[in-house]
Amino acid sequence: MVTKIVIVLVALALLVWLVLGSTRRRAKEARPRDPAAAAEAKPATKVEGMVACAHCGVHLPASQALLGQGRPYCCVEHRDGGPGAA
């Protein structure tokens, strides 16, 4: 009776050891090996400057701003209206 329990415990320990080893191997293989590969794997984030509309003060990306009289505006109406009380 005792030998059956010992055999079952050894078999369970072996099973746990095999499962843990397998998951560790998969996790290790999924990681990039060098920092350069890790940097290439991450998508590059572009940061763009923000400007405030000279008429209403709303902030928008500089690439979307409309320039008028050397100032940024959020839309044609505000550009045509000129600087506001912002």
Domain boundaries, the chain: 2-41, 50-81
What does DSSP assign to residue 54? T
Tokens coding 15: 């099973």
Helix intervals (H) in 1-86: 2-30, 35-41, 76-81
What is the distance of C-alpha 51 from the center of its chain? Answer: 24
Please state the pTM of the whole predicted model.
Answer: 0.47
Residue 35 CA to residue 45 CA, distance in Å, equals: 18
Residue 65 CA to residue 62 CA, distance in Å, equals: 5
pLDDT, tens digit only, all 86 positions of the chain: 789 999 999 999 999 999 998 888 888 777 766 666 666 666 767 889 999 999 999 999 999 999 998 999 999 999 998 887 55
